[in-house]
Amino acid sequence: MLKITNNQTIELDKIKKLDYDKFYSSVVELLNKKENHCVNYFAYPIKDEFQFFIAIADDKNHDIVILSHQLNQDDKKELKSLTEKIFSLHIFEREIYENYGIKFIGHPWLKPVRYPSNRANKTNINDYPFYTIKSNELHEVGVGPIHAGIIEPGHFRFICNGENVLHLEIQLGWQHRGIEQLFLEKKNHLQRNILAENIAGDTVIGHTTAFAQTLESLANFNVSEQLHLERALALELERIAIHTGDIGALCVDAAYHLGANVFGILRTAIINFIQAWCGNRFGKSLIRLGGSNFPFTKELRNELFEVLKSYEKKFEEMARITYRLTSIQNRFELIGTITEKQARIIGTVGLSARMANVLRDVRETHPNIAFQKYPVNPVVLKTGDVMARFVAKKREIRKSISWIRDLLNNFKFKENIEKPNYSLKLKPQHFSISLCEGWRGEICHCAITDKDGALTYYKVKDPSLHNWKVLELSLRNVEISDFPINNKSYNLSYCGNDL
Amino acid sequence: MISVFLIIISSVFFVGIISKVKAKIAARKMPSIIQPFYDIIRLFKKGAVYSSTTSFIFKIAPLVYFSTVLMATLFMPIGSQNSILSFDGDFLFFAYLLALGKFLMIIAAMDTGSGFEGMGANREALYSILIEPAFFILIGSLALFTDITSFQSLFVNLQDSTNISYFIGIFYIYVFVNIAMVENSRMPIDDPKTHLELTMIHEVMVLDYSGFDLGLINIASWLKFSIYGALISNFLINQSFVWYWQIIEFIGIQITFAVLVGILESFTARNKMGKNPQWIIILSAISIVIFLTGLIITQKIILN
């Protein structure tokens, strides 16, 4: 079995093409182990043939297993579904079916994922096959795709018995922009870099880091340790900012406006620092291929110390009030509970997994250079309800702050850093994979080059792709009025899912 | 006459004071205290849009709702200022006037055929049913003390029997503040500021109203707040004072009530929807305690 580590590139020829039965049994065997989970599974089209790649992360041995099989031109476009045995692959099989029309026999529900324009099946989004239950006692409530707030479009369909939700179906795809296709169409690395920034507006640093790592590894281009650390620093700042915003947003949904305002103000302090660093509050233009335009100077270092000091003081004060407020506890506890078993079956990643006692954190299990040098120990909670997510966000913020302090105190940042390099030459016929722990969870980018060294396939996976199912499940037998706080507690990405 | 006038005047500022207090506590910039009034003027200038699935019920409901609430103010005395209308048993009439308006709003919400509004109507109906006993038991026990069944003389006579009124005063005010919160769909039952349709109660019911109709509905809810404020203040106003002192007392109590609502809303999160009925029933339970105490004190039942 071919094992590689995170951010490693290998020749395409080295990946052995198994026949499907062998592929099937190996995948089932691997994924039945607790420490393994699938990080990406996709079909790479070569004319009329398809090469399937599956990347399975082994959290114990800190490596990634790559398996592959090929569907030849004359083969029937039908395969036995892996979802029957390993449920967490359901979304990947649906995606492959949607894009290339390859049927998976035995898949419980092969419905489309996002309705891209180049999909195999040309039916309209209006003909979406929704799940229905026929009964006089039940009623359906449809929410979206146009929302009352400022969030992105997505359609939620509840089947309710009175106030209780029996089933929630989430239909996404409204934000589809064809990102993966655009990566291939844009030949300039700078354009691709900017494209990566725009995969999901709230995970700019996460996605751009994964992108930069993928292409740098594909070009065999080594960047300095300081650059890695600066990227990790930005990643942690993003985590602090978004988690703080989420805590505030959860307070809004619980109608606790005092907390909402204070946490909103605190979030601004952090994103304003990111703006002072790179000119954009969300960190756009901060992370560039092969270098950086914005070195982390001494002044920035001092300013960050100040910002964190005042942030931490206010945050702890407000957190003490908010987390001890009985009405908040009353509102959040025992709602939307996900058991560890459920989380494992779905293949949840990131914070949504860690709050249900499943340790999945790329920073710990597949660290890049930055996190090898300055390790984090992840927050893991047991209860799996809204309160657990609420608490997990607070604890992760604390961990990130102490990680940043540790870094700032122990690493001597040099004033100059290498400039970005957009003329990286990619190695021909190679496959590269990069994992990065964004604030939402594990981000996975995969790239394949052809014999001239041009990108022929680029695959992006946002953690939301795994995690939307968790939201559906946590709504089972929960009151419909608890949907907003559940949704906000996960804060999943619509555009990251839709690409 | 003065009492109706006072209730209407105080209602204009009531919602403004609440949002001012909430803004102050949350360290936000404060809207003007008569901002709600400007909003109403804006709404009145606008035309209304009606969904084609609705019938005449949808159109008459806001008018009925507004007029029932306005009529209910006519029964409300303030201190020794007489109410315009008064007869024996008028508190029953008062309660069901308000209920009539609410009933029409509920069926109007069902009339739109929207999934959201049906849900809101369902919740509003449930909470109205649950809050009704608290109101009646409480007023009923006051009637028991005084042997009088009209608002006008109820409060006058209650003041004469001072010891009892001090005793039950605390409970009375507590229950009435909370009844006002439930009736007006405020925290912790409902969050009037939320943008999430799935968690709304009153707001989701009026989702389809616009322009003039929405303006009427908003005015009616201010008036309701003010009426409950007047009910509470009647209990506290000292009727031996001269009339202008009573008016000052009334205004003071209304402002305190509004500030109290603002503070309550700032420092708590709202209830989980499923726990609301339990929370409302507690109010009825307190009323029953008052009622039983009343029976014992007036020696209608004798404990051995």
Sequential DSSP letters for B228-296:
HHHHHHHHHS-TTS-HHHHHHHHHHHHHHHHHHHHHHHHH-PPPPGGGHHHHHHHHHHHHHHHHHHHHH
**Is 80 exceeded by the pLDDT of residue A187?**
yes
What CA–CA distance (Å, rounded) separates A453 from A220? 12
What's the DSSP call for residue B79? T
Please indicate whether, in this complex, the C-beta atoms of A141 and B198 are within 8 angstroms of each other: yes
Please indicate whether, in this complex, the C-beta atoms of A139 and B267 are within 8 angstroms of each other: no
Q: Give the distance from residue B273's alpha carbon to the nearest chain A alpha carbon, in angstroms.
A: 7
Instruction: Take residue B157 and report the two structure tokens written for it.
Output: 């006579």
In the Cβ-directed half-sphere of B82, how many Cα atoms lie within 13 Å?
4
What CA–CA distance (Å, rounded) separates A375 from A236? 12
Residue A129, number of CB atoms within 10 A of its CB: 12
Chain B nearest-CA residue for A331: B272
Instruction: Take residue B138 and report the two structure tokens written for it.
Output: 């409480």
Which of A212-216, B145-149, B261-265, B275-279 shows the lowest per-residue confidence on average (mean pLDDT)?
Answer: B145-149
Question: H helices within A347-481, ranges in order?
Answer: 351-354, 362-365, 369-373, 386-410, 464-474
Report the pLDDT value the prediction gives residue A12, as an integer from 0 to 100.
86
Please indicate whether, in this complex, the C-beta atoms of A327 and B193 are within 8 angstroms of each other: no
Give the tens place of pLDDT for each residue, A69-125. Answer: 988 888 888 888 889 888 989 999 988 888 888 888 888 888 888 877 777 777 777
Q: Which has the closest alpha carbon to A151: A498, A442, A496, A493?
A: A493
For chain A, residues classed under CATH 1.10.645.10 are: 199-461
Prior bond to A375 cis, omega within 30?
no
Residue B228, number of CB atoms within 10 A of its CB: 20
The distance of Cα A67 from the centroid of its chain, to the nearest Å, equals 22
Please indicate whether, in this complex, the C-beta atoms of B26 and A327 are within 8 angstroms of each other: no
Dihedral sign for Cα A162, A473, A254, B112, please: negative
Q: Give the distance from residue A261's alpha carbon to the nearest chain B alpha carbon, in angstroms.
A: 6
**A347, A356 in Cβ contact below 8 A?**
no
What CA–CA distance (Å, rounded) separates A307 from A329? 29
CB-based contacts of A320, cutoff 8 Å, min separation 6:
none
What's the DSSP call for residue A425? P
Element (H, E) at A434: strand A430-437
Q: Residue B115: its chain A contacts at CB < 8 A?
A: 139-142
What CA–CA distance (Å, rounded) separates A279 from A284? 8
pTM, entire model: 0.89
Instruction: Take residue A235 and report the two structure tokens written for it.
Output: 């990643």
The distance of Cα B115 from the centroid of its chain, to the nearest Å, equals 27
The pLDDT mean for chain A works out to 89
Q: Give the distance from residue A328's alpha carbon to the nearest chain B alpha carbon, in angstroms.
A: 6
Among A127-141, A203-217, B238-252, the range with the most confident prediction by mean pLDDT is: A203-217
User: Is the CB of A151 inside 8 Å of chain B's CB atoms?
Assistant: no
At A473, is the secondary structure helix, strand, or coil? helix
Question: H helices within A325-454, ranges in order?
Answer: 326-332, 340-346, 351-354, 362-365, 369-373, 386-410
**Residue A241 corresponds to which amino acid?**
A
Among residues of chain B, what percentage have pLDDT more than 70? 95
φ/ψ of residue B6, rounded to 5: -65, -40
| Span A142-152, average pLDDT | 77
Q: Residue A471: its chain B contacts at CB < 8 A?
A: none
Q: Give the distance from residue B42's alpha carbon to the nearest chain A alpha carbon, in angstroms.
A: 21
For chain A, residues classed under CATH 3.30.460.80 are: 2-113
Instruction: Take residue A392 and report the two structure tokens written for it.
Output: 């997990």
Kindly give the interhelix angle for B115-146 and B276-297, rounded to the nearest 10 degrees. 10
- Test mutation, A158, A168, A266, A327, chain B, max B CBs within 10 A: A327
**B203, B217 in Cβ contact below 8 A?**
no
- Residue A223: beta bridge partners? none
Chain B nearest-CA residue for A150: B195
User: Is the CB of A480 inside 8 Å of chain B's CB atoms?
Assistant: yes
Report the pLDDT value the prediction gives residue A245, as an integer from 0 to 100.
93
The distance of Cα A304 from the centroid of its chain, to the nearest Å, equals 27
The pLDDT mean for chain B works out to 86
Kindly give the interhelix angle for A204-218 and A225-253, rounded to the nearest 10 degrees. 150
**A143, B198 in Cβ contact below 8 A?**
yes
Report the pLDDT value the prediction gives residue B160, as an integer from 0 to 100.
61
Residue A448 to residues A9, A53, A398, A426, A428: CA-CA distances in angstroms?
10, 11, 38, 10, 9
Report the pLDDT value the prediction gives residue A148, as an integer from 0 to 100.
62
Which of A59-63, A193-197, B185-189 shows the lowest per-residue confidence on average (mean pLDDT)?
Answer: B185-189
**Is 90 exceeded by the pLDDT of residue A204?**
yes
How do strand A164-171 and strand A155-161 relate by DSSP bridges? antiparallel
Q: In what order do the strands lie in the sheet with A455-461?
A: A8-11, A430-437, A442-449, A455-461
Q: Residue B270: its chain A contacts at CB < 8 A?
A: 254-255, 327, 331
Which of A13-22, A59-68, A272-281, B167-176 shows the lowest per-residue confidence on average (mean pLDDT)?
Answer: B167-176
**Is 80 exceeded by the pLDDT of residue B180?**
yes
Give the tens place of pLDDT for each residue, B212-224. Answer: 999 999 999 899 9
Residue B160 to residues A38, A89, A279, B81, B299: CA-CA distances in angstroms?
79, 77, 72, 17, 18
Q: Residue B27: its chain A contacts at CB < 8 A?
A: 261-262, 265
Q: Residue B272: its chain A contacts at CB < 8 A?
A: 330-331, 335, 479, 481-482
**Is 90 exceeded by the pLDDT of residue B171?**
no
Give the tens place of pLDDT for each residue, A318-375. Answer: 999 999 988 889 888 888 899 999 999 998 999 999 999 999 999 989 998 899 989 9
Please indicate whether, in this complex, the C-beta atoms of B196 and A257 are within 8 angstroms of each other: no
How many distinct helices (H) and strands (E) make up chain A? 17, 14
Beta strands in A81-226 (DSSP E): 103-105, 139-143, 155-161, 164-171
**A389, A395 in Cβ contact below 8 A?**
no
Instruction: Take residue A256 and report the two structure tokens written for it.
Output: 């606790």
**Is 90 exceeded by the pLDDT of residue B42?**
yes
**A488, A197 in Cβ contact below 8 A?**
no
What CA–CA distance (Å, rounded) separates B11 from B37? 10
How do strand A78-80 and strand A103-105 relate by DSSP bridges? parallel
Q: Give the distance from residue A139's alpha carbon to the nearest chain B alpha carbon, in angstroms.
A: 8
CATH level 3 topology of A199-461: Cytochrome-c3 Hydrogenase; chain B (1.10.645)
What CA–CA distance (Å, rounded) separates A219 from A327? 54
CATH placement of domain A2-113:
3.30.460.80
| Span A47-61, average pLDDT | 88
Q: Residue A253: its chain B contacts at CB < 8 A?
A: 194, 196, 199
Q: Residue A163: its chain B contacts at CB < 8 A?
A: 119, 273-274
| Span B48-60, average pLDDT | 90
Report CA dihedral (A212, A213, A216, A217) to the nearest 10 degrees. -160
Element (H, E) at A11: strand A8-11
Q: Residue B275: its chain A contacts at CB < 8 A?
A: 330
**Is 80 exceeded by the pLDDT of residue A418?**
yes
**Is 90 exceeded by the pLDDT of residue A46?**
no
Which of A274-288, B163-177, B271-285 shows the lowest per-residue confidence on average (mean pLDDT)?
Answer: B163-177
